[in-house]
Structure 1
């Protein structure tokens, strides 16, 4: 069977990237990829540890002349965000990703690529199998469930790790090293639903309202781009139309991951036939307004409004409908504050990421990010206040700390020096609003010296995700030169 990535450089990195793309690895379902990595380490004759959280630690001695060099920790995560286009038929629990190459980019057909963070795993495996690449002693940490709470990093026992110089390969802008990141937490608001029955549909119409063409994106890396949030848009439509004519809400849903800006939102409504004209005019007017507002950030946005033939025998009561609209309207989303210390850096944000209609309740999930703990708590308090207003239940989970800037960093200085010598220009040193496992490692290992870097990736956490081939080659080459320097 021919390999889709055959011939791409660096050859062994893309070989392993293709191998792990065959293995299911959605967050919370990493058993198969963890076992694959365990078997790989053992087959290479390397000390391999698989802990209770399914994290993998693989240790490799330094090559000749590097036996007594400082141990370097290479770190990434094995899980991926599993998103697909609505029309794509793909079962992430068993189907391999369908890789393709378009120009300089590796992509997947109709799904996320898993470049975040499969490229870190692939680089690590290529290094671990190598016989001719000079390097100091290596400890490779591949964690689980980074994308939905960083549970693997939190569960990692420090006793397994000796190195105190860590290179996290989970950045998405080549030519930049990250030296600080935001902390975060997830929030869930649960609303009880009261239903009322519909006795007959003879004089009523059932409509489906869906968002189409929103770009979505990473809720940390791209939150500042002010892209349309499908949940907020659907809520706005329902609230607007409700003021124009009476209708009943039967279903609402949107988003699939708290850390992805929701691209898809949908509502099912039941409308009196006599109000169809008013309904259509209101929808058309609001769609035009939103398209104008999103002309730059989401130029392909439109509404898909269709009459549907389906059985609807119950709808939300008026009180439940009002509570849902109030909650989804009042929960903050997007950038909440900008850093006063670093120009252009988002300081705090919230992403209203998921809304689901279940049998007797609606769940609303958000992802808060902040470089300041006090602001993170304040946003959580705002959401809790909304929950109190609508008589819901509120909980927070998956909290992780920020990673603070280290003024004296040897690994940062090495990257800066090597990059300057190789390319004749300065590498960029930046902070990031997204969360990185470095914050957790900073708590576990107070003397750990860390940076984060990686190749160019675009559309992360969306089916448009793509990984630059040239940038991967350049980033891997930089990594090898950095390791060669640590002697």
Structure 2
């Protein structure tokens, strides 16, 4: 039981959160939970027009003179599941469980990103043993799909001059900066044709078992992109077999590395055995290439019934789709010169699907440098024009520039050293954090981001280290208790 873990209040709240469906843009139930919890504990709660929540609590007796601190988390989670897992994220609870030193979920994302941060902020508010000065808790909506809550944050709402973001995923590291990002979409309107009369075999190809992961935190780990790997096979398959493409889909979120991709094809009976041989050879090849990064990769197929495949994509468009996806850029573009072993610029081809006669591909571009981000956008525009695709650019969000002279940073570093007799690493992160957006309505607020160790966020392999949650909690409480050090001289 999660509620038996320490700190008990935090884990009890996280256990509650797991029972409440809260994917992005469906935060109504988790919002009600938070507002009900606030009412039960006489905590002031406000809701803005975007759906963000601001909770405020007076200081612990004797700490009224402390400067106000805001804790910040987001309400939504990434809804990812394995293909064989039966789960409706709008209805079903997350099945969280303890596995040795980790908390995991059965076949789905756990939602520790940012559920642990959310639970910690609420636990600070309701736990009577926690000592703190004036406190604000800011909870935003739809962070995972474009930071809509942070974009809609109104000025003059927060009163704190210091903010602790709880959305980072490496205990022992203090984040003081992050990448900015932009979404890029390519799309192609296609026509269909009848299935060739000599094609009497219908097959769904499935490339599965990849790790996936967060396109910011995990993009440098060399993991396979299922869309790219399946397209590679289809490109080579056309040299050996006369096949026709009926459908293609891969990935589900622009900020998650695709773990699975599927294609439905038709072919004649004489080529079916050859297809199986080519698939086995390709599976062996990519298992060799990704032996360490993707040990559970599998490439399978199943026959479809005739009534399941009623048409194919016109051959000219089939070739265009395959060429487009095969040449689509993806992955790390450049490592940072200024920030050590951190990715500077990357792009993730996160989603491809075909709906209403239109093939759509969604990318998320990230960079610590606006100029480098713009260069990747320019590259994708050129790529689109070469393949005669339409494109759209949206969802641009800024990076967060480090402030090495921050008093809040100095305080958190000092408390970490005192608690654990070790130096915390001061880092920038390639993933996007809402802190960059907060700087527009609140340019003078000092911010840091801390959190527990979360492995493989945005994938069903997501897990959070139990001991790191306790260390994160201790650091958070020690920082709040010592916040008098932030007072102006």
Task: Give the TM-score normalised by structure 2.
Answer: 0.96
SS of corresponding position for 1:444: coil
1 CA distance for matches of 2:383 and 2:262? 22
Residue among 399, 405, 408 paired with 1:408: 405
Give the conservation status (yes or no) of the 8 Å contact 2:367–2:373.
yes
Give the conservation status (yes or no) of the 8 Å contact 2:96–2:106.
yes
1 CA distance for matches of 2:394 and 2:436? 16
Partner of 1:34: 31
Partner of 1:247: 243
Give the conservation status (yes or no) of the 8 Å contact 2:22–2:76.
yes
Residue among 16, 29, 34 paired with 2:13: 16
Kindly provide the CA deviation profile for residues 24-50 of structure 1, in whole angstroms up to 9, marking residues without a partner as x. Answer: 110111111112212222332222111
Partner of 2:220: 224
Unaligned runs of 5+ in 1: none
After TM superposition, give the deviation of residue 395 of structure 1 in Å: 0.8
1 CA distance for matches of 2:147 and 2:2? 30
1 CA distance for matches of 2:363 and 2:456? 20
After TM superposition, give the deviation of residue 199 of structure 1 in Å: 6.1
Q: 1:127/1:279 Cα in 2 relative to 1: closer, same or farther (>3 Å)?
A: same
Partner of 1:363: 360
Partner of 2:46: 49
Is 1:193 aligned with 2:179? no
Kindly provide the CA deviation profile for residues 172-197 of structure 1, in whole angstroms up to 9, marking residues without a partner as x. Answer: 11111111110001111111111001
Give the conservation status (yes or no) of the 8 Å contact 1:38–1:50.
no
1 CA distance for matches of 2:330 and 2:254? 12
Partner of 1:379: 376
Give the conservation status (yes or no) of the 8 Å contact 2:201–2:267.
yes
1 CA distance for matches of 2:219 and 2:293? 11
Partner of 1:213: 209
Residue among 283, 289, 295 paired with 1:299: 295
1 CA distance for matches of 2:316 and 2:386? 13
Residue among 56, 60, 63 paired with 1:59: 56
Which deviates more from structure 2 when the two are superposed, residues 220-229 or residues 268-277? 268-277
After TM superposition, give the deviation of residue 203 of structure 1 in Å: 4.7
After TM superposition, give the deviation of residue 75 of structure 1 in Å: 0.4
Partner of 2:262: 266
Residue among 315, 327, 331 paired with 2:328: 331
Give the conservation status (yes or no) of the 8 Å contact 2:212–2:259.
yes
Unaligned runs of 5+ in 2: 485-489
Which deviates more from structure 2 when the two are superposed, residues 54-63 or residues 305-314? 305-314
After TM superposition, give the deviation of residue 398 of structure 1 in Å: 1.5
After TM superposition, give the deviation of residue 53 of structure 1 in Å: 1.3
Give the conservation status (yes or no) of the 8 Å contact 1:331–1:382.
no
1 CA distance for matches of 2:97 and 2:283? 35
Give the conservation status (yes or no) of the 8 Å contact 2:235–2:323.
no
Partner of 2:286: 290
SS of corresponding position for 1:73: strand
Kindly provide the CA deviation profile for residues 54-78 of structure 1, in whole angstroms up to 9, marking residues without a partner as x. Answer: 1110011111121121110100101
2 CA distance for matches of 1:383 and 1:408? 38
2 CA distance for matches of 1:403 and 1:170? 14
Give the conservation status (yes or no) of the 8 Å contact 1:333–1:352.
yes
Is 1:110 aligned with 2:112? no
Kindly provide the CA deviation profile for residues 300-347 of structure 1, in whole angstroms up to 9, marking residues without a partner as x. Answer: 212102333242221111221112112212221100011111221100
Give the conservation status (yes or no) of the 8 Å contact 1:80–1:117.
yes
2 CA distance for matches of 1:278 and 1:401? 50
Task: Give the TM-score normalised by structure 1.
Answer: 0.97
